[in-house]
Chain A
């Protein structure tokens, strides 16, 4: 299959519960205690799997951010049809005064 051979020369890296708490805070996600174990395990498994990329030599390789290279796209500053405010503002804003 399109799978790499197992190579135990690469020490599988794992992540701890503390790592998950830290990442969750960065991502603005609250992970309750009872779900911490599960996320640590599944994220750890994926991180270990992804670790195989470390064995490739990429020192002279340029990164690809887009497969089809595109430069900055500019447009002329002219008015074009767009949403009218009645269509765009169809939601109610929640109360923000505490």
Chain B
């Protein structure tokens, strides 16, 4: 039996019955990483600390390169943070360590989470385990690829506009973006503070619930963390959707959606209908404006969050050979120009533009108002629906290099995932099929704020009646 190919819950059962030890599991995964990571390139570096083997959940986990982990170099896959060793643990890392979790290593991402393909990383791209010529999605591409390739039992990622769900969809695994405020952002290096949320990437829905049990909860060090009781998410794993109302937005199924993705999602709708769910057509009239709204709001927040990377406090510091303006300004500009990649520069400049004098009302303020309209659309639908179902991404994974020169087409990869971030609601991606070319397709379910349990229940029911999640890439 290959321990590395098991889910976390299957592994915990083996630990309990004494058929395997956590040390064996850890070593099996390390062996798997040694064997396949030279091809997949999910890991940026392995953890320095050795596992302690104490606690109830001694599960080997991969951590995205933007979650501060004590003693590890954490860089957001950017040259500007090279050499930054975190002196503390993020809230979620503390919780993982307390549970007994073994941190395997730090995994790749798009630079500062700016991307949908994991190609903007300063370490080079990660590859999709299902087809090594294709991208794993992004920005949590390293997390998704590591889990799909059995290089980790599960992983943590972060999601600002789809960065957990879209790579989960591209790699054929489960990814959940929790409600804004459900999981502490303390120690998550910020991209867009009003949208960012940390969440699990796992091999199945049960593991998703288990990892949520570990990471969810109030943390006073994150002032946007919400002090609501945390349920036992495994109790939501019920194979029953009878009488539940599932909203299907008509805006999601028009021209431009890949026909194979469309067919798989329609099959999923049929399956849930046969299981007793009530399918309703609904409308989200302002969702066509979600991507435009997102690229105003998210870049504005990013330009302000990334102002702190100035050569004074972290990592890289550079001075040009010749004086251009004055020594201080030159140092800022040289550091930021050498430290940030092109996509990071583009987003910082876009955000700066949206916030700049004379454009603030036309862009940023208007963006925030359209955000209200999008949120109102969702609130309205949730008055009468338990979940909303769409594809996770309009296409399956694409070739490495295919979209790098066209930022706008890359941004459109997130059209279905962005509304949940703007509205702060939870959303999950679960595997729902494969294209003829053998690439995974993902199904997205969005829920009401703090109703992750409903998402888990519907996706668990779907999973119990399908076998997509059991398929493994050949590596």
List residues of chain A with CB under 8 Å of any chain B CB: 1-4, 15, 19-20, 23-24, 26-31, 35, 38-39, 42-43, 45-47, 49-50, 52-54, 56, 58, 61-68, 70, 73, 75, 83, 87-88, 90, 94, 98
A and B contact pairs by CB, cutoff 8 A, 22 listed = A1-B254, A1-B255, A1-B415, A2-B287, A3-B291, A27-B349, A30-B320, A30-B334, A52-B289, A54-B366, A61-B369, A63-B372, A64-B372, A64-B375, A66-B224, A67-B194, A67-B449, A68-B180, A68-B424, A75-B220, A87-B87, A98-B327
Residue in B287, B370, B411 with the greatest tally of chain A CB atoms within 10 Å: B370
Task: Evaluate contact between A2 and B368: CB separation under 8 angstroms.
Answer: no
Task: Evaluate contact between B194 and A1: CB separation under 8 angstroms.
Answer: no
Given the known inter-chain contacts A3-B288, A90-B85, please indicate yes or no for A28 contacting B370, CB distance below 8 A. no
Interface-facing stretch out of B25-33, B164-172, B350-358:
B350-358
Q: Which residue of B lies closest to A24 (CB)?
A: B349
Interface of A is mostly: loop
Interface-facing stretch out of B50-58, B128-136, B155-163, B340-348:
B340-348
Q: Report chain B residues within 8 Å CB of A42.
A: 346, 407-408
Q: Which 4 A-B pairs have the closest CB atoms?
A: A67-B424, A63-B368, A1-B256, A58-B369
List residues of chain B with CB under 8 Å of any chain A CB: 85, 87-88, 179-181, 194, 220, 223-224, 226, 251-252, 254-257, 286-293, 295-296, 303, 307, 310, 317, 320, 324, 327, 329, 332-334, 336-337, 340, 342, 345-346, 348-350, 352-353, 356, 362-363, 365-373, 375, 394, 407-408, 411-412, 415-416, 419, 422-425, 449
How far is the CB of A86 from the nearest CB of chain B, in Å?
Answer: 10
Given the known inter-chain contacts A30-B333, A56-B289, please indicate yes or no for A39 contacting B394, CB distance below 8 A. no
* Bound Cα distance from A88 to B88, whole angstroms: 9
Q: Report chain B residues within 8 Å CB of A53.
A: 289, 292-293, 296, 363, 366-367, 370
Q: Which residue of B lies closest to A60 (CB)?
A: B369
Task: Evaluate contact between A58 and B373: CB separation under 8 angstroms.
Answer: yes
Given the known inter-chain contacts A58-B366, A63-B372, A64-B372, please indicate yes or no for A2 contacting B291, CB distance below 8 A. yes
